[in-house]
């Protein structure tokens, strides 16, 4: 093989390596944008449900306290917390998010039997 043959062979190898690198990079970037993994927020909702301040805020409709408790548990992740009573929405905080939801049923507060359903959706896969 002559000198020019070696140059063409090295150029071909470099081109193949460059092409494979670009293909792998493109596949990796597309995979990150296409694949979403949602983690159920039931653990977070369970922790909040054990906090008497959270339960009290749900029954009083105290949005400010609810926001601070949720933020302290999930950080800056997008979320939606909605409370239902008697089949209607009582309050909703956070924005519209796509994710997996967790629901708990609170049966009463302060000696009264008043059912509340609390639904938490946390985005952030």
* Average pLDDT rounded to a whole number, residues 75-99: 91
Q: State the DSSP string of 40-77.
A: PTHHHHHHHHT-HHHHHHHHHT-HHHHHHHHHHHHTT-
Are 29 and 52 in a shared domain? no
Total number of domains constituting the chain: 2
pLDDT at 87 over 60: yes
- Which pLDDT does position 3 carry in this prediction? 60
pLDDT at 54 over 80: yes
More confident residue, 32 or 110: 110
- Which pLDDT does position 100 carry in this prediction? 84
Are 25 and 63 in a shared domain? no
- pTM of the entire structure? 0.67
- Work out the percent of the chain whose per-residue pLDDT is above 70: 84
Note the pLDDT tens digit of each residue in 16-52: 888 888 878 777 776 655 555 556 788 889 999 999 9
Q: Which two tokens stand for residue 11?
A: 């150029």
Q: Residue 122's beta-bridge partner residues?
A: 79, 100
Are 46 and 31 in a shared domain? no
Are 90 and 73 in a shared domain? yes
Question: Per mean pLDDT, which of 6-20, 22-36, 78-92, 110-124 is the most reliable?
Answer: 78-92
**CA separation for the pair 38, 54 (Å, rounded):** 24
Are 52 and 23 in a shared domain? no
Average pLDDT over the chain, rounded to whole? Answer: 84
Are 54 and 95 in a shared domain? yes
Are 69 and 95 in a shared domain? yes
Domain residues for the domain of 102 are 42-122
Are 48 and 31 in a shared domain? no
Are 53 and 30 in a shared domain? no
């Amino acid at each position: 093989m002559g000198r020019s043959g070696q140059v063409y062979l090295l150029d071909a190898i470099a081109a193949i390596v460059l092409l494979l690198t670009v293909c792998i990079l493109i596949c990796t970037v597309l995979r990150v944008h296409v694949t979403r993994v949602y983690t159920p927020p039931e653990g977070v909702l369970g922790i909040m449900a054990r906090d008497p301040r959270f339960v009290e805020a749900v029954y009083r409709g105290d949005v400010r306290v609810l926001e601070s408790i949720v933020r302290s548990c999930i950080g800056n992740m997008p979320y939606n917390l909605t409370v239902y009573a008697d089949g209607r929405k009582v309050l909703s905080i956070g924005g519209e998010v796509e994710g997996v939801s967790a629901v708990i049923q609170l049966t009463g507060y302060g000696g009264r039997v008043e059912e509340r359903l609390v639904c938490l959706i946390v985005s952030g896969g």
